[in-house]
A and B are shown apart, each in its own frame.
Chain A
Amino acid sequence: MSKIQKDLTNTVMSRIKREHITMKPRWYFILGSLAMVIGLVGLSMLSIFFVNVTVFSLRAHGPMGAIRYQQLLSSFPWWAPGLAIIGLGFGIWMLKKYEFSYKKNFLLVILGFVAAIIVSGVLIDYLGINTFLSRQGHMRRFYQQVEVQNTTFPRGQGQGRLNR
């Protein structure tokens, strides 16, 4: 064994002893992985929700498009797509932290992730789930705030009726 090698081994081992360096426990890493999964799922759900709110608000763009369009621009809840984009951004950042990300075509993974979020958001609106939610408990007030400046055309059950 060369002198350099011996020195390095001794230095590393004595640093471990001298500085009382210990291994992080196993649960620390399990908790970290769990937090990542929960974070990613949470962000995805948040993004889906805000995409859905965006689509819900966009339905105000009914007949007399041109006039309505101006109205839509001034009254549109821009924070909804904004929050959806922020959620997507953090989601992509978290995806990048996963080990599989460099083994696959990451651009495709991102596109798939974004497409899945948008399709889910639109699907929830198409199936009338948010129309249903807008009539339920806590969500009612939220959807009413979104609706208050827009005249929505609900889908799903009770289609065509104004739900204000």
Chain B
Amino acid sequence: MPEINILSDEELVVLIRTNEKERFTDIVERYEDKLLRYATYLIHDENKAMDVVQDAFIKAYINLNGFDVKKKFSSWIYRIVHNEAMNSVKKYHKETPLLQNADFQSEENIEQDFTRKEIIEKAQFCLDQMPVLYSEPIALYYLDEKSYEEISDILRIPMGTVATRVSRAKILMKEICQKYKKI
């Protein structure tokens, strides 16, 4: 059996599809943290985000044979979470409360952790003030460190549009954060 950790996501998917279905656990472990964070800043509710990610993993498992292994698995699974999150937002159809204490796991020391949390909180606040049209690409770009191409694949918009939205989002973010500072 190959060493799981050195396998790429796509190679792992091939393995799961052929005969090792139990290995889907590794996929879940690789992505749950990132996807939970992504879903949380889309719907601003950790419990609902949890449900969304859970459903997204189940959907991914059901449709795993439809995934083209020549493409990036991360874009594919992010896309599923995006769709699930959007469905959830439409379903509940109301403004959800701001996250007061998002649990971002870290092994850094307390001071660094505090500064980081403060920055994340500020960034989260500014992001929440922005329309999702701009907050989503900028969050994917800076928080999830996705390339323009990956964002284009996740949001199903042209790369040029991604660049435009990220650039506009930066301007918006600056304006919002400056206002937030004054408050």
Q: Which residues of A contact B (CB under 8 A)?
A: 1-2, 4-5, 8-9, 11-13, 15-16, 21-26, 28-29, 32, 102-105
CA distance A24 to B103 in the complex (A): 35
Is there contact, CB below 8 Å, between A23 and B61?
Answer: yes
**Chain A residues closer than 8 Å to B105, beta-carbon distance:** 2
Q: Does B54 contact A (CB under 8 A)?
A: yes
Most buried by A among B21, B57, B103, B159: B57
**B110-127: contact bitstring with A at CB < 8 Å (1 yes, 0 no)?**
000000000000000000
Known A-B contacts A28-B65, A102-B152, A105-B158; the reply to A9 vs B58 at CB < 8 A is no
**7 A-B pairs (CB sep. < 8 Å):** A5-B32, A5-B33, A9-B28, A12-B57, A13-B28, A21-B58, A24-B63
Query: Which applies to chain A's interface (DSSP): helix, strand, loop or mixed?
Result: helix
Give B103's nearest chain A residue, CB to CB.
A4
Asked if B24 is at the interface of the complex by the 8 Å CB criterion, the answer is yes
Chain A residue at smallest Cβ distance from B16: A23
B62 interfacial contact with A, CB 8 Å: yes
Known: A23-B17, A23-B64, A28-B65. A8 touches B54 (CB 8 A): yes
Which of A13, A21, A32 has the most chain B CB within a 10 Å cutoff? A13
B interface residues, tally (CB under 8 Å): 27
With known contacts A102-B152, A102-B156, A29–B62 Cβ distance under 8 A: no
Name A104's closest neighbour in chain B (CB-CB): B158
Whether B53 sits at the interface, judged by CB under 8 Å, is yes
Given A5-B32, A8-B28, A21-B62: A15 and B54 interface contact (C-beta under 8 Å): yes
B residues 45-104 with Cβ under 8 Å of A? 50, 53-54, 57-58, 61-66, 103
Complex Cα spacing A11 to B54, Å? 8
A160 CB, min distance to chain B CBs, angstroms: 51
Q: How far is the CB of A1 from chain B (nearest CB, A)?
A: 7
Contacts A8-B28, A13-B28 hold; do A29 and B65 have CB atoms under 8 A apart?
Answer: yes
Q: What would 14 more interface pairs be, CB under 8 Å, given A23-B17, A23-B64, A102-B156?
A: A2-B105, A5-B32, A8-B28, A9-B28, A12-B28, A12-B57, A13-B25, A16-B61, A22-B62, A23-B21, A23-B65, A24-B65, A29-B66, A103-B152
